[in-house]
Amino acid sequence: MKKVFLLAWIFCSWPCSIHALEIRGELSFEARLFAESPSYAGQKHNNGSLAIDAEFYQQFSENVRLVVEPFYRIDSADSNRSHADLRTGHFLYMPQSWELTVGVDKVFWGVTEFVHLVDIINQTDLLEGLDGEDKLGQPMVRLLLERDWGMVDTFILPWFRSRSFPGEGGRLRGPVVIDDDNAQFESSMEEYHPDAAIRYSNYLGLWDFGIYQFVGTSREPLFAVSSETMTVIPYYEQIAQTGLDVQLTEGGWLLKLEALSRYSDIDRGLGAAAGFEYTFANFGGTAADLGVIGEYVFDDRNVAEYSLYNDDVMVGFRVSVNDHRTTEFLLGIMQDMENGSTALSLELSSRINDSATFEVTGAFLDKIDQDDPAGVHRQDSFLRLLLTCYF
Amino acid sequence: MRTTLVALLFLLVIPGDVFAETAGGRGHTIAVEAKKRNSNFGDYQVQMTMILRSRAGAESQRMIRNRVLEIIGDGDKSLTIFDSPTDVRGTALLSYSHRQGDDDQWLYLPALKRVKRISSADKSGSFMGSEFSYEDLGSREVEKYAYRFLQEEACGEQRCFVLELIPKESSKSGYSRIISWLDTVHLRTMKEEYHDTRGRLMKTLTMGIYQEYLGFHWRPMQMLMVNHQNGKETELLFYTYLFHTGLTDRDFNKSKLQRLR
């Protein structure tokens, strides 16, 4: 807290500031209630947690700004899940047709809803959830050029963020606690290996597409047993990955494709996700919208062995009630084509008042096959209650 | 000479249709003229409050900013930025409207920092849970409706032209027809009635006080949409319009979505 005030004081007393410092953010309370007893020694049954995500925004001139967004979570059951991160912390210079970012930022690439296969710049914050949508802040120097013929986005990523895994007290982990403090790297420069990426993207009529080349440290680890500590440690390869994302928006249909090709010294793998989304407005004579999503993912990279998605079909139904509370229901069904594992998720979100929302999520994981990478979560079906206050 | 002959031939063969054509022609002419008077603004920015009222009278508010750039020869480009409720703060909708075919639309989701292309084909859906649909708020292109002049009548203290609009592509509209009242002096929309696809009266829009900008542009400062079928209503209150703010094409590039403030 002291640090936050210090930070605020530094911004407010900045001599050249012409605009006031803006502070906004959210405070969230979470409870996860698990239906069954934990499978592994040391795991606590349920957990409660509190998270704060604040954004400090300072504009120095029309083209120069500073954005700093620290994040902190404290968790009752898992000391690893109590974690801090700098989600954003960069200077941005943005004259009309280009942008330069120096510092920590988040970048999303991709089009599909269930899996985010081609998204690679930021490491996944696995402690926040299994859906892969929470990301750790990535240090970068980024140059974005906007031309009539498309956008070219170039990245130098000087420091790699390792993935963190649930600790002893946490649910949603395997039998062995991953020793992420002793991660090993193919590169002798370890996490200081400078990674790089370049992406071209454009939009032509009904088509939106992007293609990129990434060279550097794999965001997904392999796992090995360390000969020194005899613990399971993550191992990060050096890779070259080419990725493509395309969306065709035709009438009411969204047709999506993500594809990638990945090389490392020991593996050559391909992955693809394809799917559709269709929305029925004023569904059933009400003001509600019903969105139907269908996706398939195939992934044969070596890292997919540990992934929840390697040969899976996903179906989703999203109902937006269109009431003044912006109430939404989401049903997701995921089925593994190899072993028939099925997982189900149900989500309800709504607004309480102008500055608070709530969310109830249920994840049903008991129909997952023992041999599936997610088989370790079979006892981990849970109900998650989330209350978020915005300031 | 040849055209006269063709016209005469038409008169002889299908006289009823020719009268319909005349009413259609006049309706279309008025619509084109009204659209013309709404153009040549260059660009503008405006802030608004949207008030949603339930049947029981419970209110909730949204703060929205709009930035619009006029595109010569095509539909406008617009950016809609949500400031409140706080959970949707930073969400933005980028729209390139077109005279022909579907609009191009992208939605920016700040939590994921994701820009998502969305379908704009079916415009009948509710905008932010309000009684306005995307169709009601988007730029109305003359090419997408068939017009018919119905009559001239008194509307409040003024005289109004009454037009009937029928969407050319019925699958992309929530209405079977729209009845529109435009004042005879400035061709400003004073009132509209929307009939659902089954032909029943669904909603009525009334415009509040108009303000003149740049010496020739009239903009409503208030709009009220009443839904007769569900008893709800939505009011839009506009703050000062700012014209010629220097917006360019680049401000409407989809890469700008995540830098909006």
Write the ipTM: 0.91
* Mutation for A interface: B103, B255, B256, B258, most A CBs within 10 A: B255
Contact call for B113 and A108, based on CB within 8 A: yes
Structure confidence at residue B21 (pLDDT): 55
- Is A257:A273 a contact under the CB 8 Å cutoff? yes
Structure confidence at residue A198 (pLDDT): 98
Q: With bands split at pLDDT 50, 70 and 90, how would you rate the model's confidence at A15?
A: very low
- Is A178:A233 a contact under the CB 8 Å cutoff? yes
Q: What mean pLDDT do residues A1-6 have?
A: 49
Question: Which residue of B lies nearest to A283 if distances are taken between CA atoms?
Answer: B125
The C-alpha atoms of residue B181 and residue B196 are separated, in whole angstroms, by: 18
Q: With bands split at pLDDT 50, 70 and 90, how would you rate the model's confidence at A130?
A: confident
Q: What mean pLDDT do residues A136-160 have?
A: 97
Of the given ranges (A68-77, A233-242, A321-330, B166-175), which has the lowest mean pLDDT? Answer: B166-175
- Helical spans, DSSP H, in A46-116: none
Of B58, B116, B119, the CB nearest to A279: B119
Work out whether the CA dihedral B126, B127, B132, B138 comes out positive or negative.
Answer: negative
Structure confidence at residue A17 (pLDDT): 44
Contact call for A281 and B125, based on CB within 8 A: yes
Counting residues of chain A whose pLDDT is more than 90, the rounded percentage is 84
Tens of pLDDT, residue by residue over A21-34, are 999 999 999 999 99
Q: With bands split at pLDDT 50, 70 and 90, how would you rate the model's confidence at A90?
A: very high
Contact call for B126 and A287, based on CB within 8 A: yes
The answer to whether residue B112 scores a pLDDT higher than 50 is: yes
Measured between its terminal Cα atoms, the distance across chain A in Å is 16
Question: Could you tell me the two tokens for B7?
Answer: 């016209």
A342-362: burial string, b at 16+ Cβ within 10 Å, e else: bbbbebebebeeeebbbbebb
- Helical spans, DSSP H, in chain B: 2-13, 15-37, 134-137
Structure confidence at residue A4 (pLDDT): 47
Of the given ranges (A111-115, A338-342, B21-25), which has the lowest mean pLDDT? Answer: B21-25
Neighbours of A329 (CB within 10 A): 16
The answer to whether residue A12 scores a pLDDT higher than 80 is: no
Question: Could you tell me the two tokens for A33?
Answer: 């209630």
Judged by a CB distance cut-off of 8 A, whether residue B151 touches chain A is no
State the average pLDDT for chain A.
Answer: 93
Tens of pLDDT, residue by residue over B5-15, are 444 444 444 44
Among candidate residues B252, B242, B251, the one with its CA nearest the CA of residue B41: B242
Q: What mean pLDDT do residues B233-256 have?
A: 94
The C-alpha atoms of residue A335 and residue A346 are separated, in whole angstroms, by: 15
The answer to whether residue B4 scores a pLDDT higher than 60 is: no
**pTM, two decimal places:** 0.90
The residues pairing with B145 across neighbouring beta strands, listed in sequence order, are B167
Taking every pair of Cα atoms in chain B, the longest distance, rounded to a whole number of angstroms, is 66
Contact call for B119 and A254, based on CB within 8 A: yes
Structure confidence at residue A1 (pLDDT): 44
* Residue where the block lists tokens 């690439």: A109
Structure confidence at residue A125 (pLDDT): 97
Specify burial of residue B88 (Cβ count, 10 A radius: 0-12, 13-18, 19+).
Answer: buried
In order of B113, B136, B236, the CA distances from B140 in angstroms are 30, 8, 18
Nearest CA-CA distance, residue B59 and chain A, Å: 9
Give the 3-state secondary structure of residue B30. helix
Tens of pLDDT, residue by residue over B248-259, are 999 999 999 989
Structure confidence at residue A307 (pLDDT): 84
Chain A residues contacting B via beta carbons under 8 Å: 24, 57, 59, 92, 94, 96-97, 99, 106-108, 111, 133, 144, 146, 151, 203, 208, 247, 249, 251-254, 279, 281-282, 287, 289, 321-326, 351, 354-357, 388, 390-391
Q: With bands split at pLDDT 50, 70 and 90, how would you rate the model's confidence at A20?
A: confident
- Helical spans, DSSP H, in B78-202: 134-137
Contacts with A61 (C-beta within 8 Å, 6 or more apart), sequence order: A18
Contacts with B103 (C-beta within 8 Å, 6 or more apart), sequence order: B75, B95, B96, B97, B120, B138
Tens of pLDDT, residue by residue over A184-229, are 999 999 999 999 999 999 999 999 999 999 999 999 999 999 888 8
Structure confidence at residue A3 (pLDDT): 52
- Is A34:A391 a contact under the CB 8 Å cutoff? no
The C-alpha atoms of residue B242 and residue B34 are separated, in whole angstroms, by: 21
Structure confidence at residue A18 (pLDDT): 53
The β-bridge relationship of strands A64-75 and A47-59 is antiparallel
Judged by a CB distance cut-off of 8 A, whether residue B83 touches chain A is no
* Mutation for A interface: B62, B74, B114, B132, most A CBs within 10 A: B114
The C-alpha atoms of residue A126 and residue A380 are separated, in whole angstroms, by: 15
The answer to whether residue B56 scores a pLDDT higher than 80 is: yes
The C-alpha atoms of residue A229 and residue A234 are separated, in whole angstroms, by: 13
Contacts of B58 in chain A (CB under 8 A): 324
Question: Which residue of B lies nearest to A145 if distances are taken between CA atoms?
Answer: B255
Nearest CA-CA distance, residue A259 and chain B, Å: 18
Q: What mean pLDDT do residues A55-70 have?
A: 95
